[in-house]
Amino acid sequence: MAGKLCVSVIEGRNVQADDFAEKNFYVKLRVGSNEVKTDVVKGSLQPKFLKDCRLSVPLPETDILRIELLQVGPRGDLVVGSDDLRILTITSRGTIVHWFQLRTASRSVSAELCLVLRYLSAGSHRPMSPTYAIASRQAKERALEGSAASTQAPPSSAFRDLQTGAAASTSGRGAATAEKLVNGSGNGSGHLHTYGSTAGSPGTAASVSGHPTGARSPSVAGSAAAAGGMPRPANVGTPRRPGRANGDGRAGPTQVPLPLAVLGGMVVGVLVYLWKKRPVYYEVQEDDTLCHIASCFKKRVEDVYQKNKALLKNPSRLYPGDRLRIR
């Protein structure tokens, strides 16, 4: 049965570009005779396209999605790499976020491209675009942030991600690195060094007064003998206020005043509360219904309608592009 394919082209990475052409790239998607292109992103080997596309799929059982990354050249556009995806493999998988490895004609990997895909059947009675829109928005936000989290699979609560060999190898390397840190093989020592302690750290004497452990301070021993009392251990010095220098010139540990600590905790609590209560909006897509939007955000239909009563004259009629307040 014919349908349509929703694709969000997010970003590329590890692009092996032609050195004799400018670093300007765009993506071309094709299903049969239907073809769409993204805008040209200039001057970056990690281009962020952030483009939403929709392609008609006449025969999902046999049609193939052709993915191409092209570089704008002075004598014509150059194909950096390409990949093919059978539509049949994603028709029942829901929303998918995946890094595709684009290969040259010699089958060597020349770039990686992140896409968000979802197939919508023409006879589907349950619109699935809200979940796709949420997954696409999250992927775009990660791409704009430019953090290491953008290379990882997004949370499984919003969608299901394809498992790749690269992700498995990355997790294996992470586990090996963690094992090295635990066993101490990463730095050649099995000990963990604690900074800021008063004893046991390298170059720090165990005695607070500056004398080795077990040895008496001459002045203390002499005063104790003159008084005829019990000599006081040499490693017990006069109590010092926090923040003052010790006998050997090192600064002691500092303490934050209690009122300041309480005030800081209150400020953090207020910021966390305001962040959780911030308003959340959703832009209506094609084929959306109020019921499915509410269920996607785990809200009641009545609550969503009450928050948008001024916009929604008829709750059963939504228009693409409307911004609904969810929270």
Q: Which amino acid is at 13?
A: R
Asked if the model's pLDDT at residue 247 lies above 70, the reply is no
Asked if the model's pLDDT at residue 211 lies above 50, the reply is no
Tell me the C-alpha distance between 280 and 20, whole Å.
46
Give ranges for CATH 3.10.350.10 in the chain.
281-325
> What's the chain's average pLDDT?
73
| pTM exceeds 0.85, yes or no | no
Based on the number of CB atoms within 10 Å of its own CB, is 102 exposed (0-12), middle (13-18) or buried (19 or more)?
buried
Assign domain 3-162 to its CATH architecture.
Sandwich (2.60)
Q: What is the pLDDT of residue 249?
A: 55
Instruction: Judge contact between 68 and 79, C-beta under 8 A.
Output: yes
Show Cβ contacts of residue 284 under 8 Å, excluding neighbours closer than 6 positions.
Answer: 293, 318, 319, 320, 321, 322, 323, 324
Which of 18-27, 94-103, 222-231, 294-303 is the least confident region?
222-231
Which of 122-131, 153-162, 186-195 is the least confident region?
186-195
pLDDT in tens, 76-105: 899 999 999 999 999 888 889 999 999 999
Strands (E), 135-272: 160-161
Q: What is the pLDDT of residue 183?
A: 39
Token pair belonging to 14: 């590890």
Give ranges for CATH 2.60.40.150 in the chain.
3-162
Instruction: Judge contact between 42 and 24, C-beta under 8 A.
Output: yes
Based on the number of CB atoms within 10 Å of its own CB, is 192 exposed (0-12), middle (13-18) or buried (19 or more)?
exposed
Residue whose entry in the numeric block shows the structure tokens 């929270």 = 327
CATH homologous superfamily for 281-325? LysM domain (3.10.350.10)
Q: How many other CB atoms sit within 10 Å of the CB of residue 55?
A: 20
Query: Largest Cα–Cα distance of the chain, in whole Å?
Result: 106
Q: Which amino acid is at 257?
A: P
Q: What is the pLDDT of residue 251?
A: 56
Token pair belonging to 78: 């150059």
**Percentage of the residues of the chain whose pLDDT score is greater than 90:** 30
